Chains A and B, each alone.
Chain A
């Protein structure tokens, strides 16, 4: 039997200096820095460790050296397969770009019977049909939908109150399914609705065609009805009843709900979460208020600053974590999407956290009048007379003109986080998004000054908050690993 050699005999690391692979570091707290590699894997380091590693002085065979080597922050004389693996991971993160535009939003009408002060789009309370999408516009929009390379196509109907134009929804669904017999895409439909005007006809149609329902639920009755006024002041009652009826017709998990945070919500995060649990939802998306549409006009957006929202968010997140550690499974979706980027090699399709930005290539909007917008927020800006992100019109422009026009390519290119000041050196960049629409809306620039950006402040704090929580508790890390792989 030949002699067996010892482990040190196989470690060539000390024989030559290591080579750093691209990495970045950002302050986590008083003591430590978050360092990330190109694929968004992170290691926590002290200030002196950052300096040591950056200076090329980090000694092999130390725990930190092993971690950095394992996570592809460096290669050395011992191994360089990290290059193959890192390239593969970066490709995996970027690969979905080639199959662009999975979500196609059809604004079936601007009419709505609600008059929510935070509404992000104009609404028309009259019965005039001038704010309804026509079949002709729908057909032209569908031409564009099926030009997208994405294998999966989701068509989402929005408003106003989308169901007020049910005939058009039916028309689009039937026509899309007819075209898909030849196209063979993975085709899905969602109706975004307040459920207040949900009738049996709509439910039966949704059931027949496997259409999902997505509704708004802001929390307990008093909060929801205050946020979402309608004639009769019964928005909450109608929504809850609609959820019950839709679940019975379509299946429990075919109905989703989204909440909007207002100043009135800030003190009630537990009540809001409890409301979702009471209605047997498995998750909640604790959303920030966005600076568009009526929200801007009515100064709702300015009514609370980011730190108040962050307090609200983390109070809610900690409550949800506590529920999970006690054995009740419940997910906070924003955390789950961020954690997927932090803890897995996969990417999320959440438009706000995409870079290159998700505008038009993640989701695109066909307005009732045929105008094509780069995002839902873009059409809200347009309603406020800012047409920066108006990409064209289905009646006047070809697919190539819309997708390759300067109106889209300029903001995409300008805002790409890997190359903009403030982001390119940020350790959180692999997890973050570009969001040129937000920065244009708030700072008049696709990039914006990141220290002044609420988007930047908010996300950096969310990243830090998630990391501190999972670093402090192995149970929380295990919970987060589960979330990262569920969404």
Chain B
């Protein structure tokens, strides 16, 4: 588990007066002066160079070395991971720091809004009906600072498409600043149903965009129940059709839970008959956080109890030539025939293993757990040992 958000940061006097700011961090004293002035020096040892806009220290003993009048802060130990090329937001007035981008991580994503038009039983990021339009400004400010070598970044929510044209603007900015970076967007797809948003998004001509959209069943009311919204299924399906009609790439995402397992193989067949042209299907284990934790009793099904359905569904999709992956699952629970489909998908900052994993020889290939899995995980977790194999 990596901490992305901190409070009670020790800011120096010069820093306290400053407004909130978004900074790219650098550990290179040879940076050109114009860039230094806009960047934060991330310090771990040695003398502090001059000329940086900010100084972030991993140890309080160097705080005296911060050049006169320059703002500085001492980071708590859990931010030791910060390094060159990372992007943070500093909020001196609240004593806060937030990591926005980590150059070393393949899992950087931006939550664009907390608002949502679904209310999913297992939502890991429960929506709030608040005015959080400032987030878009922050992301627009951060995008130019992100390392051009980033392989992929993600947009999540809430429901990003509620931002309408500002969502399109964000996609456009991402393509413009990061011409080699893939962009993965999580959306429920409903607002694409009318066609105009899909058309506008396609007009951006982003070079590598994938929209991940959940479809939880082949039957409308089963899907609508999971997302707690009447009519959502029809809109989501029409949204997917509109996106594909405009040549955009779509990933269908299915969360494996008590409500979705009974129709899982029917859903797989439905996808092969109706949405064969989507670009990827992700079958995903639960993340026990947010509503998922509150609703655990009603959504939980032990993965050990749905292996037959999962194997059949993956087989149906795979035989139809669809690209299919299993996310958030552990190898010791999966049938061996499913191992080739399992991906290590859990973001590193919330990825952990359980005590039962001690001595497991497959750990290096295994996706492991969300840190929130401590609340509930499969009874079938056990170390995989070659002696037993």
Give the B-binding residues of A (Cβ under 8 A). Answer: 1-2, 4-7, 9-13, 39, 41, 66-67, 69-71, 78-81, 84-85, 88-89, 344-346, 478, 481-482, 485
Given A41-B273, A81-B234, A481 and B126 touching (CB < 8 A)? Answer: no
Quick check: A89 and B228 within 8 Å, CB to CB? no
- A5 and B232 alpha carbons, distance in the complex (Å): 14
Chain B residues with Cβ under 8 A from A79's Cβ?
A: 220-221, 233-234
Interface residues of B in 191-244 (CB under 8 A from A): 218-222, 224-225, 228, 230, 233-234, 237-238, 241
Query: Per-residue CB proximity of B291-311 to A under 8 Å, as 1/0?
Result: 100110010000000000000
For B316, give the chain A residue with the smallest CB separation.
A481
Query: 1/0 per residue B370-386: CB within 8 Å of A?
Result: 00000000000000000
Q: Does B52 contact A (CB under 8 A)?
A: no
- Taking A4-B295, A80-B234 as given, write out 5 further A-B residue pairs in contact, using a Cβ cutoff of 8 Å, ordered by the A residue number: A4-B228, A7-B222, A67-B266, A70-B219, A81-B238
Q: B221 touching A78 by the CB < 8 A rule?
A: yes
Tell whether A10 pairs with B266 under 8 Å between CB atoms, given A81-B234, A84-B238, A85-B274. no
A70 with B266: CB separation less than 8 A: yes
Residues of A within 8 A of B272 (CB): 344-345
Is B224 in contact with A10, judged by CB distance below 8 angstroms? yes
The CA of A13 and the CA of B220, in the complex, are separated in Å by 10
> Is B276 interfacial (CB 8 A cutoff)?
yes
Interface size range of chain B in the complex: 20 to 34
28 A-B interface contacts by CB (under 8 A)? A1-B126, A1-B294, A4-B121, A6-B225, A7-B259, A10-B225, A41-B273, A66-B266, A67-B266, A70-B218, A70-B270, A78-B221, A79-B220, A79-B221, A79-B233, A79-B234, A81-B234, A85-B241, A85-B274, A88-B274, A89-B274, A344-B320, A345-B274, A345-B276, A478-B319, A481-B315, A481-B320, A485-B320
Determine if A78 and B220 form an interchain contact, defined as CB atoms under 8 angstroms apart.
yes
Q: Do residues B241 and A84 form an inter-chain contact, with CB atoms below 8 A?
A: yes
Contacts of A1 in B (CB 8 A): 126, 291, 294
Neighbouring A residues of B320 by C-beta, 8 Å: 344, 481, 485
User: In the complex, how many angstroms separate the beta carbon of B198 from the nearest chain A beta carbon?
Assistant: 14
Q: Does A5 contact B225, Cβ atoms closer than 8 Å?
A: yes
Assess the B276–A5 pair: CB atoms within 8 A. Answer: no
Measured between beta carbons, the chain A residues less than 8 angstroms from B319 are: 478, 481-482, 485
Report yes or no: B316 in contact with A85, Cβ–Cβ below 8 A.
no
B125 to chain A, nearest CB (A): 14
Known: A1-B126, A41-B273, A70-B266. A81 touches B225 (CB 8 A): no
Tell me if A88 and B315 are in contact (CB < 8 A): no
Cβ of B321 under 8 Å from chain A: yes
Does B55 reach chain A (CB closer than 8 Å)? no
Shortest CB-to-CB span from A84 to chain B, Å, is 6
Residues of A within 8 A of B295 (CB): 4
> B119 within 8 Å of A by Cβ?
yes
How far in angstroms is the closest Cβ of chain A from B232? 9
Contact of B230 among A6, A10, A89 (CB under 8 A): A10
- C-alpha spacing A1/B129, complex, angstroms: 12
CA distance A346 to B320 in the complex (A): 11
A85 to B273, CA, bound (A): 9
B123 to A: closest C-beta gap in Å:
11
**What's the least CB distance linking A354 to chain B, in Å?**
21
Q: Output the nearest chain A residue to B274 by Cβ-Cβ distance.
A: A85
| Contact of A485 with B273 in the complex, beta carbons under 8 Å | no
Residue of B nearest to A11 (CB): B221
Most buried by B among A7, A12, A70, A478: A70
**Does A10 lie within 8 Å of B221, measured CB to CB?**
yes
- Interfacial chain A residues near B218, Cβ < 8 Å: 70
A78 CB to closest chain B CB (Å) equals 5
Contacts of B276 in A (CB 8 A): 344-346
Across the A-B interface, the 4 shortest Cβ-Cβ residue pairs: A79-B220, A11-B221, A81-B234, A10-B224
Residues of B within 8 Å of A345, CB to CB, are 272-274, 276
Q: What separation, in Å, do the CA atoms of A369 and B123 have in the docked complex?
A: 72
**Chain B residues, Cβ within 8 Å of A88:** 241, 274
Contact check, A81 vs B126: say whether CB atoms are below 8 A apart. Answer: no
Cα A80 to Cα B220 in complex, Å, equals 9
Min Cβ gap A477→B in Å is 10
Nearest-Cβ distance from residue A482 to partner chain B, whole angstroms = 5
CB distance from A9 to the nearest CB of B (A): 8
Alpha-carbon gap, A78 to B266, bound state (A): 18
Contacts of A7 in B (CB 8 A): 221-222, 225, 259
Give min CB distance, A260 to chain B, whole Å: 31
Q: Which of A81, A344, A482 contacts B220 (CB 8 A)?
A: A81
Interchain nearest-CB distance for B43 vs A (Å): 43
Q: State the Cβ distance, A92 to closest chain B Cβ, in Å.
A: 9
A2 / chain B contacts, CB cutoff of 8 Å: 119
| A7–B222 alpha-carbon span in the complex (Å) | 7
Task: Chain B residues near A4: list those with CB within 8 A.
Answer: 119, 121, 228, 295, 298
Q: For residue A3, give the distance in angstroms from its CB to the closest CB of chain B.
A: 10
Q: Contact at B234–A485, with CB atoms within 8 Å?
A: no
In angstroms, Cα B321 to Cα A346, docked, is: 12
Residues of A within 8 A of B234 (CB): 79-81
B317-342 contacts to A, CB under 8 A, are: 319-321
Contact yes or no, A69 B219, CB < 8 A:
yes
Bound form: Cα–Cα A80–B319 in Å: 28
Chain A hits for B294, CB < 8 A:
1
Interface residues of B in 21-60 (CB under 8 A from A): none
A81 to B235, alpha carbons, bound, how many Å?
A: 8
Residue of B221, B225, B259, B319 with most partner-chain A CB within 10 A:
B221
> Hey, which chain A residues are within 8 Å of B274, CB to CB?
85, 88-89, 345
Q: How far is the CB of B300 from chain A (nearest CB, A)?
A: 15
Within the assembled complex, what's the spacing in Å between the Cα atoms of A6 and B315? 31
Minimal Cβ-Cβ distance residue in B for A60:
B221
Asked if A39 contacts B273 (CB within 8 A), the reply is yes
Residue of A nearest to B230 (CB): A10
Q: Which of B219, B237, B259 contacts A66 (CB 8 A)?
A: B219
Chain B residues 91 to 140 lying within 8 A of chain A, measured CB to CB, are 119, 121, 126
Q: Min CB distance, A347 to chain B, in Å?
A: 13
Expressed in whole angstroms, the minimum distance between the Cβ of B221 and any Cβ of chain A is 4
Min CB distance A39 to B, Å, is 7
